[in-house]
Chains A and B, each alone.
Chain A
Amino acid sequence: MSGDFVKLVSADGYTFVVPRNVALQSGTLRSMLDPTGNFTEAETNTCHIQYRGVIVLKVIEYLAYKLQYLDTSSDEIVEDFSDRVDPYIALELLTASDFLEV
């Protein structure tokens, strides 16, 4: 079971269990979970992300959105993710997206 899901822990202690293929959409998480890297994260399938839970939640939501449209031409995507982002968290989300390479 643990092979299919990974645990993402936010700075304020929220835990998110997400499918591995969703988490792997992020470059940083992919490196963390890379079994050849010998990181603790890869062994325990748990990644600590130093952002607030609300940010991590939104990032995970985006990762799922990204995975869903992975093979769709950009023109055909009608669902606009920016409708789902509260402007209040936009700046923090920007720094998180930069860190997590999404």
Chain B
Amino acid sequence: MSRARRGTGAVRGPASALTSFLAGLGVQPSAPLTTWGNSTAINGQLAADGPVIDPTAELDPAGAVTARNVEAGPSTVADGKRARSASMNSDDLDAPVQHDSLQAVGEFMTCAECDKQFTVTAYTKPRPKGGHLCVPCCYALGIDPFAKAKVKKVAKKAPQKEARTVKRFEDRRGAPGLGDICIQIIGKYIEDVEQLGDIGHVNMDKVCRIISRGRLLTPETAQLFYASDREELVMYDCTRLVHESYLAMANLCPNLYTLRLHYCGQLTTDALVHISRLPLRIIELYGPFLVREAGWKALFENCNLESFLITQSPRFDLALLENLLAQCPQLKHLRLDEIGKLDNAFLPLIAQFPLISLDISSPTHHLSDEAFVLPSTVQSLTLLDHPELTDEILPTIAKLPLHTLKLSLMPELTDAGVATLFQTLTNLSHVDLEKGHDLADAALISLIESSAATLTTLSILGWREVSSDALAHLTRCVKLTQLNLGWCRQVTDFLLKDLLDACPDLNTIYVWGCNQLTDAAPRRRGVKIVGIETHSL
């Protein structure tokens, strides 16, 4: 039956009783049963092939047309079962019959053409003038009663054209860079380091920088920098180094004294335990996230550290600091930058080290004034991003024998407080008071009074309130080499001219955000002036 409807017309095998029965109820196989025959001429022949009305069958006395009257083509024998199933819902005969809207499959409806009742199937066809048709009427009107219900095609939306023009960078033109080619060759011959020639340690460091810049320091290329006679190793981008590379480093550089690893996110506890067998004195790690307690402990135990500089570690805690104090009591340089567990409790312990330089920056838990205490030997102090520390800490700092002071991003410091600090703290050479939003004339003049003769680098980035009169005092700092005046709004071409005349050693001035400067800003041979707005237009 379904085969017939598939439109072959001419050739058709016998259909089973089940097929006929199902066809009577409007059920058809979802996939074609045969592959032969694909004629599309259905209409003309379908009347002969498709279901036919048994001309001998009489209509029900009630006049209803049920499936009993409609037979599948091949099985002309009326099927008792089918008749029963079709008439099972005879209760529904009394239900009000609607002409127009299609009922659910299996319900009765009245044919809009002949007013006789029929069972609704999935194939029930609508009458062109409204209502629905029974099967005989379909034939009468030349409609295929068993044609598959048409699925409304949803018009495909044309893909929206993007308003912006997207440049495709995939289409790269031109030859690869010579640097890339060289690194490729180095990677290829890495096993045979002698072939690559010796260019000296200074140049090797340069090569390391060049390779790191392209993030091309891989386990293969890293071997280039391992040598048994190396005492110092700096890797500028260890992002792609894996556990094995660190083991190789520990094995191939047995004499390392100084180790600096930037972006060593993949440095594991095990690797650090291996590295700790080296005679290290100075270690600087940037981002040792994976190192756990065991790794740090091995490092403190095996190495008599002078410098312990770490940035970004979520696992370094108070117990480890106690361990460090016990194992390396002679530590000279300590950096704990962006340490997740650093809090007030760390400070008394830190104060027990005989430190020369100390850097405590960006702790997750803010430090507070009452806990603030420092080792009395500190000569270089860096405190960055402490939103809760106020002027209260300045007397502690004033007692230190400092030459370098960096107090950046400490919004609670006041102009008067910092001015008082510089009355006792004299002869500083490096001062960085970036982003001290409330600092202004008094602090600057006080600093210049106390350290004019020794100051070499100075950053007052973000002192928006500082006046041009106070800035003019900078000309007294004749030893300045680097100066950052970013976002000091009163900086003018004239001030710059005075500074260039007064400070013979200047080599760099940063003036980002000093928007009074013009194209006519003065220059001097050997001095870089970075950030003049009009230069970038």
Contact = CB atoms under 8 A, between A and B. Distances in A.
A59 B203 CA distance: 18
Interface stretch (B60-68, B172-180, B350-358): B172-180
Interface in A56-84: 59, 62, 65-66, 69-74, 77, 81-82
A73 B171 CA distance: 7
Contact of B174 (A59, A74, A90): A74
Nearest to B189: A87
Contacts of B203: 91-92, 95
Nearest to A85: B185
A95 B204 CA distance: 9
B101 interface: no
Nearest to B190: A87
Contacts, number: 88
Nearest to A61: B178
B199 interface: yes
B141 interface: no
- The secondary-structure label for the interface of chain A is helix
Contacts of A88: 195-197
Contacts of A93: 178, 182
Given A91-B207, A93-B178, A73 B173 contact: yes
Secondary structure at chain B's binding surface: helix, strand, loop or mixed? helix
B363 to A, nearest CB: 38
Contact of B199 (A77, A82, A91): A91
Interface residues of A, number: 26
Contacts of A71: 173-174
Given A87-B195, A97-B182, A81 B175 contact: yes
A62 B174 contact: no
Interface in B126-184: 171-179, 181-184
A82 B199 CA distance: 20
What are the 7 tightest A-B residue pairs by CB atom distance, in nearest-first order? A97-B178, A94-B182, A74-B172, A87-B189, A90-B185, A97-B179, A69-B175
Given A77-B175, A87-B196, 19 more contacts: A66-B178, A70-B174, A74-B176, A82-B185, A85-B182, A87-B185, A88-B197, A90-B182, A90-B185, A91-B182, A91-B196, A91-B199, A92-B197, A92-B199, A92-B203, A93-B178, A97-B178, A97-B182, A98-B179
